[in-house]
């Protein structure tokens, strides 16, 4: 029986190095030079490159890619343990070459791109020479592909794209946009004529595509294959988000516990008040349960596939948003007025919880998916009573014992006595 919660000593050494490296090198860089990885200032870039070189020397660069796609092939479980650390530090995923939305876009390129497309876009993305965004959801259709209207029409040796996309994260600062159309997935240069980025929202951009012309070889994968590519991208993306959410919850929990031991109320430290103790205990259990669920789901992906694990991936997706919302609220409440300011990470965590419930598909959609998939393993009851209706089960069990009772009347009398007792008890 293989059932093991331990981590190989060699990989644990890697994890220890990552935690120490992020705490001692990545976090100080974030505090002094926010968004340093994307800076075009050569003086700041000179601070980033040595850190990335250290990551590469450890064999931890772009760890999300499977071996056959050009990565180290760690698998989802080891990736979960890594992201549990990286998610605590703002720029750590980028320092490790594993930041969304580039990760999912690189996965699509690695899996479906031609050699020319990989040379043109994948390798520069992996080296952070260029940046990308994923342009999927639409104002009128949300994340439901059946309601999408953005379409690419072939015109000679070009595709002409028309449509409107909503919430294209980091679209404004991307070099290329992966645009999901009703008839395919297309790679569109951000500066292509006809790509119009609306002033708002600033981070998750609203983009209009008006007669945008791109060469035929900018189609990624097969024509009409956009949904297949999207599922490949989003399945991994959801589990990666969950991994990083664990680290945010643990950060909030650490702040909560520290505060509980540091402040006094009504003559004693607040950690001695039972309501605070209950909050800490419930929060601890919620984080532990989420962590085990995420790790088990990652293990299932490694041992089967993303497709076969889709029910658990969907369940993890909406569970992580719920836990983040509860944990960050609890932490904010225990920190008091300080928690409502931008002087700690707590307020941003709490504000991000609703976004986590909508990104990569609304939670309600995933709950419907889970319910439908779970119900496939069940059948409606036959007859009037449910399967676990006790009188019917006792009757059937009695029939099973009848041959024995026929040979042993004393045993029948004993069974009759038990039946009378159960009847009296009601």
For residues 276 and 363, state if they share a domain: yes
For residues 371 and 258, state if they share a domain: yes
Residue 111 domain-assigned (yes or no): no
Q: Range of 416's domain?
A: 390-425
Q: Tell me the C-alpha distance between 290 and 306, whole Å.
A: 19
Q: Tell me the C-alpha distance between 68 and 49, whole Å.
A: 27
Residue 95 domain-assigned (yes or no): yes
Q: Looking at residues 30-36, what average pLDDT do you find?
A: 95
pLDDT in tens, 115-139: 999 999 999 999 999 999 999 999 9
pLDDT in tens, 201-218: 999 999 999 999 999 999
Length of the chain: 426
| Residue found under tokens 């075009």 | 40
Q: Mean pLDDT, the chain, as a whole number?
A: 94
Residue 125 domain-assigned (yes or no): no
- What share of the chain has pLDDT > 70, as a percent? 99
For residues 161 and 280, state if they share a domain: no
Residues 6+ apart with CB under 8 A from 275: none
Domain edge (last residue) among 220, 241, 273: 220
Q: What is the CATH number of the domain that holds 339?
A: 1.20.140.10
Calculate the alpha carbon distances from 307 to 190, 233, 241 in Å: 31, 11, 17
Phi, psi of 162 (to 5 degrees): -135, 135
For residues 290 and 313, state if they share a domain: yes
Q: What is the CATH number of the domain that holds 62?
A: 1.10.540.10
For residues 271 and 355, state if they share a domain: yes
Least confident of 71-75, 110-114, 120-124, 235-239: 235-239
Q: Looking at residues 27-34, what average pLDDT do you find?
A: 96
Q: Is 142 left (phi over 0), alpha (psi -120 to 50) or beta?
A: left
Domain count, the chain: 4
pTM of the model: 0.89
pLDDT in tens, 156-200: 999 999 999 999 999 999 999 999 999 999 999 999 999 999 999
Residue 123 domain-assigned (yes or no): no
For residues 366 and 405, state if they share a domain: no
Residues β-bridged to residue 295:
none
Q: Looking at residues 251-276, what average pLDDT do you find?
A: 97
Q: What's the pLDDT score for residue 236?
A: 67
Helices (H) and strands (E) in the chain, counts: 15, 10
Beta-sheet pairing, 268-269 with 195-197: unpaired
Residue 148 domain-assigned (yes or no): yes
Q: What's the pLDDT score for residue 144?
A: 87
Beta-sheet pairing, 219-220 with 184-189: antiparallel
Q: Tell me the C-alpha distance between 169 and 134, whole Å.
A: 7
Q: Looking at residues 52-72, what average pLDDT do you find?
A: 86
For residues 190 and 234, state if they share a domain: no
Q: What's the pLDDT score for residue 65?
A: 82
For residues 363 and 246, state if they share a domain: yes
Q: Which of 327, 390, 396, 384 is nearest to 356 (CA)?
A: 327
In this predicted model, which residue has the larger pLDDT, 180 or 74?
180
Domain edge (last residue) among 220, 241, 275: 220
For residues 249 and 210, state if they share a domain: no
Residue 42 domain-assigned (yes or no): yes
| DSSP state letters, 46-114 | HHHHHHHHHHHHTT-TTTTS-GGGTS----HHHHHHHHHHHTTSTTHHHHTT--TTHHHHHHHHHHH--
For residues 29 and 166, state if they share a domain: no
Residue 416 domain-assigned (yes or no): yes
SS3 206: strand
For residues 235 and 349, state if they share a domain: yes
- Asked whether the predicted pLDDT for residue 235 surpasses 80, the reply is no
Q: What is the CATH number of the domain that holds 200?
A: 2.40.110.10
Report CA 183 to chain centroid distance, whole Å: 27
Residue 107 domain-assigned (yes or no): no
Q: Looking at residues 134-153, what average pLDDT do you find?
A: 94
Q: Tell me the C-alpha distance between 283 and 353, whole Å.
A: 16
Q: Are 107 and 268 in contact (CB under 8 A)?
A: no
Q: Tell me the C-alpha distance between 130 and 112, whole Å.
A: 19
For residues 395 and 359, state if they share a domain: no
- Asked whether the predicted pLDDT for residue 376 surpasses 80, the reply is yes
Q: Are 361 and 143 in contact (CB under 8 A)?
A: yes
- Asked whether the predicted pLDDT for residue 75 surpasses 80, the reply is yes
Tokens describing residue 290: 């989420």
Nearest 5°: CA angle at 240, between 8 and 52?
75
Domain edge (last residue) among 220, 240, 271: 220
| DSSP structure class, residue 138 | B
pLDDT in tens, 335-365: 999 999 999 999 999 999 998 898 888 899 9
pLDDT in tens, 81-109: 999 999 999 999 999 999 989 999 999 99
Residues 6+ apart with CB under 8 A from 45: 36, 39
Calculate the alpha carbon distances from 100 to 87, 145, 170, 174 in Å: 11, 21, 10, 12
């Amino acid at each position: 029986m293989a059932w093991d919660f331990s981590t190989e000593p060699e990989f644990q050494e890697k994890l220890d190095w990552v935690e120490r490296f992020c705490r001692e090198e990545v976090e100080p860089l974030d505090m002094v030079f926010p968004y340093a990885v994307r800076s075009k200032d050569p003086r700041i870039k000179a601070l980033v490159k040595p850190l990335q070189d250290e990551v590469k020397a450890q064999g931890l660069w772009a760890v999300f890619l499977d071996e056959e796609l050009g990565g180290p092939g760690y698998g989802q479980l080891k990736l979960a343990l890594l992201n549990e650390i990286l998610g605590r530090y703002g720029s750590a995923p980028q320092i490790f070459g594993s930041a969304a939305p580039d990760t999912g876009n690189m996965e699509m390129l690695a899996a479906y791109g031609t050699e020319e497309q990989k040379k043109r876009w994948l390798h520069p993305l992996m080296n952070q020479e260029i940046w990308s965004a994923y342009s999927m959801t639409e104002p009128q259709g949300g994340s439901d592909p059946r309601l999408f209207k953005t379409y690419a029409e072939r015109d000679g040796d070009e595709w002409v794209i028309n449509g409107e996309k909503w919430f294209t994260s980091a679209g404004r600062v991307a070099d290329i946009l992966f645009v999901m159309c009703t008839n395919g997935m297309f790679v569109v240069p951000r500066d292509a004529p006809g790509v119009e980025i609306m002033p708002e929202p600033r981070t998750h951009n609203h983009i209009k595509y008006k007669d945008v012309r791109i060469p035929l070889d900018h189609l990624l994968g097969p024509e009409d294959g956009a949904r297949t590519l999207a599922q490949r991208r989003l399945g991994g993306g959801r589990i990666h988000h969950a991994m990083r959410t664990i680290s945010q919850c643990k950060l909030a929990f650490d702040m909560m516990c520290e505060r509980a031991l540091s402040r006094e109320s009504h003559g004693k430290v607040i950690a001695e008040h039972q309501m605070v103790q209950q909050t800490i205990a419930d929060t601890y259990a919620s984080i532990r349960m989420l962590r085990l669920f995420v790790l088990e789901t990652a293990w299932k992906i490694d041992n089967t596939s993303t497709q076969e694990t889709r029910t658990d991936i969907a369940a993890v997706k909406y569970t992580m948003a719920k836990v983040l919302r509860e944990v960050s609220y609890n932490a904010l409440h225990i920190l008091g007025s300080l928690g409502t300011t931008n002087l700690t990470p707590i307020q941003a965590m709490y504000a991000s919880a609703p976004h986590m419930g909508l990104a990569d598909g609304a939670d309600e959609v995933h709950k419907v998916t889970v319910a439908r998939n779970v119900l496939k393993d069940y059948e409606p009851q036959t007859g009037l009573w449910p399967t676990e209706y006790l009188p019917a089960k006792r009757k059937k069990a009695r029939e099973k014992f009848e041959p024995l009772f026929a040979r042993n009347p004393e045993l029948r009398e004993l069974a009759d006595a038990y039946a009378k007792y159960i009847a009296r008890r009601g």
